[in-house]
């Protein structure tokens, strides 16, 4: 009896296995490597699988949380010609490196035209390398100036109606004995901040980002580079970033801003959703939400426009994918304005397609939706170079901790280090 | 014939720990057969060892001769020993070596003293208490290094940590102390967590050494009227010298390869970068396979050098540590 049961069970397992194989053969499975989020990309994968009606199915595979760790894993897999990579959620600064290495499949011209329609310029720039669209713009991120209305009012500032400068918010925080929320941690966040300061001052970190490694010129030893260093120095020396400035990332600065000594903060829009969630969970007071205002990223010089940071995720197609055509089709499905609006409302990540901002749900969830769209139009990407990692790490190594930054030495130190590293003469 | 026996004699002297002697003792057939059997038994393990250790080292050395970036495979170029020149002339390398040596020396010194004290406690503890005590002392060592690094990181971090609020009464510590904001305090936390984590390991090795000290020697010293300290210095420590040296050697090698704590707590910020983290950064995050391999090979050479110094300078005799002589 025991033996019979076993053989029946074995036969059943074999049959089930055969059946499973047969089922998989009929529908190609696309693997979409996603960055961690609140489940939005998995939901989009399910939606597009349904919409494909059997033409393909999308399965998601999770990448590490840190952007740099995502790049490491993707570069290693792609260098090994991994054919399981069909669609990739890519952080824009790393796109040139993967594109230059031939790791991204080409986007046909007609598709490129279709997926850039109504898309903000920053997102198109971020997905372009050597004048060709190499990824499909998905969601686009930008930083805003968040402020406590009570503090701004007490300091005599009206950021909602008049653009403010870094100098003004530094003085305001100082006069009210409050902290400024900035990102001083030795990580990508610091590069984002430096880039925003330099570009807002009218400069560029790299003068010729598309040049080969040994010919790249840095634009830090300029008035713009020095102005950026001066702002960081000012905030750090006066203790305005709080005691934890040297370890402060986006989340830590949000907590600082939500605390008793919060005043102004530059940060991505996720802080809005996170604050609302905090109120709902009973950790934060509704009065805090009522006190929060938002405005365009602060300018460096009065009367000049600021260049807010640009971030987000674009969709790359793996060069070694077995179904590149289907992957491109799937990517187009993922980035429809409807799907972007859904993603923005549920996951708090802003759409790159301007049409999505007209969605009533988006308007209701994000009272600052129009400001985000405007900020995206003005945003400046980080240097578009295949050597972005070297540039970014070099900056972080020389401009950290923020209290060590000075306009006289920091731009020069960064220039010397990054130039030598790119020439292969130094470690990093 | 005579050459063969001389060579065999040298081998036997070497196997005996190089303790001098003319080494002209002719070996018997039986000894020779035993030696052959020894090779047959150990041979397969030796081959496996070569495959899993020598092969990657040789591969790393080969890669280190190239200028090779994973995302720029077309530009791969043979550059002889240029990567080594770049590494050895770079202040970043020397700073990392300095920090690694600092962490190694301080942790090993403190752990040796603490570990010995704990070993004495375990050795002398009442029989009923001993198992519980051993378990309690071993708990930190049983915790995965990354997990303990996270625990220490969160305990000391300025926003979620409890250390600042618990120790705010102590001089130099306040609610606003940012432990990971500068070099001194960052290294302090790294070293403290390392000591907490691995003292049990060293104390366990020393406990084994303590057990080897003959009880009759202790008795004899006691009868002669030696005090506790005199017995410790004149009887216990000399008799477990080999065990102490082996414990120190293992811990030194381990400490020199420190990675997890630095990776989790500072990511190398505030000049806390150590050698293995430097190798990680070049190879994994910069994808510069050539340069990273050069750093790894140099790290390997450092480890070999440390082993060599320990064995030569301190005359560590592994055979006697195992109680074979």
- Over residues A298-334, the pLDDT tens digits come to 999 999 999 999 999 999 999 999 999 999 999 999 9
Residue A311: φ, ψ to 5°: -145, -155
Tell me, yes or no, whether A392 lies in a domain: yes
Question: Considering only CB atoms, which chain A residues are within 8 Å of B72?
Answer: 100-101, 386
What's the pLDDT score for residue A122? 86
Residue A183 shares a structural domain with residue A329? no
More confident residue, B321 or A266: A266
Contact map slice: B 199-228 vs A, CB within 8 A: none
Contacts of A245 in chain B (CB under 8 A): 178, 181
The edge-to-edge listing of strands for the beta sheet with A144-148 is A179-181, A262-267, A144-148, A292-295
* Position A9 in a domain: no
Instruction: Look at residue A411 and tell me if it is in a domain.
Output: yes
Residue A7 lies in a domain: no
Range of the domain at A211: 144-307+387-422
Q: Same domain for A251 and A340? A: no
Give me B306's structure tokens: 């440390």
Interface touch B286/A428, C-beta < 8 Å: yes
Q: Is the pLDDT score of B126 beyond 80?
A: no
CA of A69: which chain B residue's CA is closest? B285
Residues A174, A260: one domain? yes
pLDDT of residue B311: 86
A252 touches B: beta carbon within 8 Å: yes
Q: Both A190 and A331 in a single domain?
A: no
Q: Specify the CATH number for the domain of residue A242.
A: 3.40.190.10
pLDDT for the residue A10: 53
pLDDT for position A12: 52
Tens of pLDDT, residues A192-227: 999 999 999 999 999 999 999 999 999 999 999 999
Same-domain pairing of A150 and A220: yes
Element (H, E) at A338: helix A337-347
- Determine, yes or no, domain membership for A2: no
Token pair, residue A307, equals 């260049």
Q: Report the pLDDT averaged over residues A136-145.
A: 96
Task: Name which of B252, B303, B297, B304 is nearest B279 in CA terms.
Answer: B297
Whether A13 shows a pLDDT value over 80: the answer reads no
Same domain, A225 and A254: yes
pLDDT value, residue A9 = 54
**Interatomic CA distance for residues A47 and A25, integer angstroms:** 21
- Gap from A244 CA to chain B (nearest CA, Å): 6
Q: Do B71 and A79 touch (CB under 8 A)?
A: yes
Residue A80 sits in the same domain as residue A162: no
Task: Note the pLDDT tens digit of each residue in B17-65.
Answer: 444 445 567 788 999 999 999 999 999 999 999 999 999 999 999 999 9
Together in a domain, A116 and A241: no
What per-residue confidence (pLDDT) applies to A22? 42
Tell me what the pLDDT averaged over chain A comes to.
92
pLDDT score for B313: 83
Number of domains in chain A: 2
- A101 and A212 co-located in one domain: no
> What pLDDT is stored for residue B135 in this prediction?
87
State residue B242's pLDDT score: 86
* Residues A399-426, mean pLDDT to the nearest whole number: 95
pLDDT tens string B245-278: 889 999 999 999 999 999 999 999 999 999 999 9
User: Which carries the bigger pLDDT value, residue B2 or residue A192?
Assistant: A192
Instruction: Pick B73 or A61 by higher pLDDT.
Output: A61
Q: Do A428 and B287 touch (CB under 8 A)?
A: no
> What was the ipTM of the complex prediction?
0.85
Residues A203, A87 within the same domain: no
Closest in A244, A401, A424 to B86, CB measured: A424
Q: Pick from A378, A396, A414: which residue ends a domain?
A: A378
Q: Using an 8 Å Cβ cutoff, are B186 and B270 in contact?
A: yes
- Residue A66 is predicted with a pLDDT of 87
pTM for the predicted model, two decimal places: 0.87
Whether A246 and B287 lie within 8 Å, measured CB to CB: no
Contact A279/B at CB under 8 A: no
pLDDT at B319: 58
At A1, is the pLDDT very low, low, confident or very high (cuts 50, 70, 90)?
very low
Phi, psi of A146 (to 5 degrees): -100, 140
Residue A137 lies in a domain: yes
| Residues A178 and A287 placed together within one structural domain of the fold | yes
Q: Please check whether residue A188 lies inside any domain of the structure.
A: yes
Domain architecture of chain B: domains with CATH? 92-314 (1.10.3720.10)
Return residues 293-312 of B near A (CB < 8 Å): 295
Distance from CA of B259 to the nearest CA of A (A): 17
Average per-residue pLDDT for chain B = 88
For residues B294 and A195, what is the distance between their CA atoms, to the nearest angstrom?
32
Give the pLDDT band of residue A112 (cuts 50, 70, 90): very high
Q: Is A314 exposed, middle or buried (0-12, 13-18, 19+ CB in 10 A)?
A: buried
Q: How far apart are CA B291 and CA B289, in angstroms?
A: 6
- ∠ CA A173-A175-A180, nearest 5°, is 10
Nearest to A123 by CA among A339, A325, A384: A384
Q: A107 falls in which pLDDT band (50, 70, 90)?
A: very high
Could you give the maximum distance between any two Cα atoms of chain A, in Å? 89
Are A273 and A402 contained in the same domain?
yes
What residues in A contact B268, CB-CB < 8 Å? 186
Interatomic CA distance for residues B96 and A399, integer angstroms: 19
Q: Does A185 reside within a domain?
A: yes
């Amino acid at each position: 009896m025991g033996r019979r049961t076993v053989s029946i069970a074995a036969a059943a397992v074999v049959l089930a296995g055969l059946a499973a194989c047969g089922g998989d053969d009929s529908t190609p499975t696309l693997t979409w490597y996603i960055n961690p989020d609140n489940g939005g990309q998995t939901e989009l994968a399910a939606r597009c699988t349904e919409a494909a009606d059997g033409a393909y199915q999308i399965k998601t595979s999770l990448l590490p949380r840190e952007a740099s760790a995502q790049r490491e894993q993707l570069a290693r897999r792609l260098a090994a010609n991994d054919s399981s990579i069909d669609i990739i959620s890519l952080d824009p600064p790393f796109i040139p490196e993967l594109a230059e290495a031939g790791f991204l499949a080409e986007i046909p011209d007609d598709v490129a035209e279709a997926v850039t329609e109504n898309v903000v310029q920053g997102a198109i720039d971020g997905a372009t390398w050597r004048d060709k669209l190499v990824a499909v713009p998905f969601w686009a991120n930008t930083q805003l100036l968040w402020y406590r209305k009570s503090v701004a009012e007490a300091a005599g500032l009206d950021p909602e109606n008049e653009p403010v400068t870094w100098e003004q918010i530094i003085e305001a925080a100082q006069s009210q004995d409050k902290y400024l929320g900035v990102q001083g941690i030795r990580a990508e966040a610091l590069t984002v901040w430096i880039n925003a300061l330099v570009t807002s001052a009218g400069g560029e970190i790299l003068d010729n980002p598309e040049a080969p490694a040994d010919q790249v010129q840095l634009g830090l030893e300029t008035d713009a580079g020095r102005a950026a260093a001066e702002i960081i120095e000012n905030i750090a020396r006066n203790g305005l970033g709080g005691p934890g400035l040297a370890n402060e990332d986006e989340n830590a600065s949000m907590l600082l801003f939500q605390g008793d000594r919060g005043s102004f903060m530059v940060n991505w829009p996720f802080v809005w959703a996170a604050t609302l969630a905090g109120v709902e969970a009973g950790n934060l007071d509704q009065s805090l939400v009522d006190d929060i205002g938002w405005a365009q990223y602060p300018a460096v010089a009065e009367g000049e426009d600021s260049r807010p940071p640009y971030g987000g995720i674009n969709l790359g197609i793996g060069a070694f994918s077995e179904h590149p055509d289907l992957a491109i089709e799937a990517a187009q499905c993922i980035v429809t304005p409807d799907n972007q609006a859904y993603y923005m409302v549920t996951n708090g990540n802003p759409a790159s397609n301007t049409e999505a901002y007209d969605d009533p749900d988006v308007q209701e969830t994000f009272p600052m939706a129009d400001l985000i769209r405007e900020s995206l139009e003005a945003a400046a990407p980080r240097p578009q170079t295949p050597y972005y990692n070297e540039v970014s790490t070099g900056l972080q190594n020389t401009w950290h901790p923020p209290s060590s930054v000075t306009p006289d030495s920091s731009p020069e130190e960064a220039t010397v280090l990054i130039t030598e590293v790119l020439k292969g003469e130094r470690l990093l | 014939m005579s050459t063969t026996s001389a060579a065999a004699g040298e081998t036997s002297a070497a196997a005996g720990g190089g303790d001098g002697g003319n080494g002209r003792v002719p070996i018997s057939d039986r000894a020779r057969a035993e030696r052959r059997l020894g090779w047959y038994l150990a041979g397969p393990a030796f081959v496996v060892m070569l495959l899993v250790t020598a092969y990657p080292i040789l591969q790393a050395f080969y890669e280190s001769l190239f200028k090779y970036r994973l995302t720029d495979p077309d530009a791969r170029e043979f550059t002889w020993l240029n990567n080594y020149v770049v590494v050895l002339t770079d202040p970043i390398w020397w700073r990392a070596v300095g920090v690694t040596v600092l962490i190694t020396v301080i942790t090993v010194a403190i752990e040796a003293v603490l570990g010995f004290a704990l070993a004495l406690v375990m050795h002398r503890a009442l029989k009923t208490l001993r198992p519980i005590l051993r378990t309690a002392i071993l708990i930190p060592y049983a915790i995965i290094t990354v997990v303990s690094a996270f625990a220490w990181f969160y305990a000391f971090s300025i926003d979620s940590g409890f250390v600042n609020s618990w120790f705010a009464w102590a001089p130099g510590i306040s609610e606003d102390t940012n432990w990971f904001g500068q070099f001194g305090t960052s290294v302090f936390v790294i070293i403290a967590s390392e000591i907490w984590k691995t003292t049990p390991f060293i104390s366990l090795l020393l406990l084994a050494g303590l057990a080897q000290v003959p009880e009759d020697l202790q008795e004899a010293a006691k009868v002669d009227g030696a005090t506790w300290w005199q017995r410790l210095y004149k009887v216990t420590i000399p008799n477990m010298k080999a065990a102490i040296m082996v414990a120190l050697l293992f811990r030194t090698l381990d400490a020199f390869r420190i990675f997890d704590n630095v990776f989790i707590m500072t990511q190398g910020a505030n000049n806390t970068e150590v050698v293995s983290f430097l190798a990680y950064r070049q190879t994994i995050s910069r994808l510069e396979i050539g340069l990273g391999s050069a750093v790894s090979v140099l790290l390997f050479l450092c480890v070999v050098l440390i082993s060599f110094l320990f064995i030569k300078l301190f005359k560590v005799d592994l055979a006697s540590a195992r109680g074979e002589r």
